[in-house]
């Protein structure tokens, strides 16, 4: 959904406990800091989708997972808590943390996995930060530029192994911080945003927001000339040989939808799973033989390992009948466009109305349903 609009109303951003009433029923959003899931947690989500929802897990552009048409919210919450997916009832909607999915395994300037864990732990341990809006976004980029480009409110971007640029409102703030202070500085900035925001949901919406937030950063960090941080919007799709010679497999999904049955097969591989902000998954730490078997089994089930597939370039909102505001069955229309070779070489986002929900960052052609058909812009 667009970030512009009325900020005087209550923050209705859905979570695992505060569900959204959609046309097709209750919608729950499960936060996955860094997009990381264990195999056991994926199994729990798959079973919950089958038992309590519509049998699908919808991946989001923040690396989270949604369940639609939820029939028993209390049962869902109990299952999530039991799986370690709901560590804080008070902070569950603010655990929006993007991280480089291949960090520590292949490429990048610094391994940021421990920073993600530390940020989540300290974020949920601070009572004041439970008052952040549910749309606030953190990013932890290992230097390759894959998640900084998503325009987080607050983030760090590795400059070298022990130095990070502080990212505010999606851009370099000019502040540099040593690794040991990176999480503390992000939390300083989060508290500053909470105190200064005056009803705004994102730092970029605030007049002089970056300067206001920087006034609360007091960990003795040094300033540097601002630079344009190099970013990439290319998702990790395909076969990747990790630094330890094991394999990571990156896959796209049509509409970002993972059927529960396919999710159970993923869980059966018993390896860590990363949900990416490109609405795909990366399965890591695979022996070569296991990786080959995963491709043979899961490609026919809808996982797309081909980086040239039109589904890597095309995305959509839920459309009708799930959304009352949609002018069309967007998923079915995009399915037909892909089948007929009508998706162009660039990125396209198909939506049912002018709200353009789920629109990815970067250069994208919007294909918007109206009462008179689709319009491109």
pLDDT in tens, 104-153: 999 999 999 999 999 999 999 999 999 999 999 999 999 999 999 999 99
Can you give the CATH number for the domain in which 127 is found?
Answer: 3.30.413
The pLDDT of residue 376: 93
Same domain, yes or no: 291 and 318? no
Total domain count, the chain: 3
Do 64 and 128 belong together in one domain? Answer: no
Q: Which of 306, 329, 361 marks a domain boundary?
A: 306
CATH number of the domain encompassing residue 51: 3.90.480.10
pTM of the model: 0.93
Q: Say if residue 165 is in the same domain as residue 42.
A: no
pLDDT of residue 3: 42
Residues 45 and 163 placed together within one structural domain of the fold:
no
Q: Is residue 58 domain-shared with residue 76, that is, in the same domain?
A: yes
Provide the pLDDT for residue 222: 63
The reported pLDDT for the residue numbered 299 is 97
- pLDDT value for 4: 42
- Structural domain range at position 360: 311-376
Same domain for 215 and 202 = yes
Let me know whether 291 and 323 are in one domain.
Answer: no
Q: Are residues 109 and 205 in the same domain?
A: yes
| Residue 375 confidence (pLDDT) | 94
Considering the domain architecture, whether residues 123 and 181 belong to the same structural domain is answered as yes
In-domain check, residue 98: no
Domain final position from 235, 253, 277: 235
**Exposed, middle or buried: residue 259 (CB in 10 Å: 0-12, 13-18, 19+)?**
middle
Looking at the domain assignment, is residue 224 inside a domain?
A: yes
Same domain as 170, residue 66:
no
At which of 246, 280, 306 does a domain end? 306
What's the 3-state SS for the chain? CCCCCCCCCCCCCCCCCCCEEECCEEEEEECCHHHEECHHHHHHHHHHHHHHCCCEEEECCCCCEEEEEECCHHHHHHHHHHCCCCCCCCCHHHCCEEECCCCCCCCCCCCCHHHHHHHHHHHHCCHHHHHCCCCCCEEEECCCCCCHHHCCCEEEEEEECCEEEEEECCEEEEEEEEHHHHHHHHHHHHHHHHHHCCCCCCHHHCCCHHHHHHCCCCCCCEECCCCCCCCCCCCCCEEEECCCCCEEEEEECHHHEEEHHHHHHHHHCCCCEEECCCCCEEEEEECHHHHHHHHHHHCCCCCECCCCCHHHHEEECCCCCCCCCCCCCHHHHHHHHHHCCCCCCCCEEEECCCCCCCCCCCCCEEEEEECCEEEEC
For residue 9, tell me if it sits in a domain: yes
pLDDT at 358: 86
Kindly give the parts of the chain with pLDDT less than 70.
1-10, 219-228, 233
- Asked if residue 115 and residue 229 are part of one domain, the reply reads yes
């Amino acid at each position: 959904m667009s970030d512009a609009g009325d900020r005087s109303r209550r923050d209705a951003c859905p979570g695992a406990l505060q569900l959204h009433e959609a046309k097709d029923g209750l919608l729950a959003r499960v936060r996955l800091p860094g997009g990381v899931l264990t195999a056991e947690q994926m199994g729990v989500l798959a079973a919950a989708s089958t038992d309590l929802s519509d049998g699908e897990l919808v991946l989001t552009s923040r690396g989270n997972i949604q369940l639609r048409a939820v029939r028993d919210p209390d049962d869902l919450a109990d299952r999530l808590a039991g799986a370690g997916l709901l560590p804080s009832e008070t902070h569950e909607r603010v655990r929006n943390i993007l991280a480089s999915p291949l960090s520590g395994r292949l490429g990048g300037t610094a391994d940021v996995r421990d920073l993600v864990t530390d940020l989540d732990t300290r974020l949920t341990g601070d009572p004041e930060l439970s008052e952040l809006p549910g749309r606030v976004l953190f990013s932890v980029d290992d230097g390759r530029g894959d998640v900084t480009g998503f325009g987080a409110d607050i983030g760090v971007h590795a400059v070298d192994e022990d130095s990070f640029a502080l990212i505010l409102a999606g851009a370099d703030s000019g502040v540099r911080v040593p690794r040991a202070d990176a999480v503390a500085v992000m939390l300083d900035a989060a508290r500053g945003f909470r105190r200064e925001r005056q009803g705004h949901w994102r730092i970029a919406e605030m007049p002089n927001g970056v300067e206001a937030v920087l006034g609360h950063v007091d960990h003795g960090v040094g300033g540097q000339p601002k630079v344009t941080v190099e970013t990439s919007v290319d998702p990790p799709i395909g076969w990747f040989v990790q630094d330890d010679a094991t394999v990571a497999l990156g896959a796209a999904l049509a509409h970002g939808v993972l059927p529960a049955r396919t999710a159970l097969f993923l869980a059966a591989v018993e390896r860590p799973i990363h949900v990416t902000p490109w609405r795909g998954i990366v399965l890591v730490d695979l022996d070569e033989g296991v990786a080959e078997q995963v491709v043979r089994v899961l490609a026919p089930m809808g996982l797309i390992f081909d980086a040239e597939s039109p589904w890597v370039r095309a995305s959509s909102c839920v459309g009708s009948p799930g959304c009352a505001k949609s002018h069309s069955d967007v998923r079915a229309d995009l399915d037909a466009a892909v089948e007929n070779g009508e998706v162009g070489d660039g990125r396209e986002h198909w939506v049912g109305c002018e709200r353009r929900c789920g629109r990815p960052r970067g250069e994208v052609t919007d294909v918007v349903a109206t009462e008179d058909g689709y319009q491109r812009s």
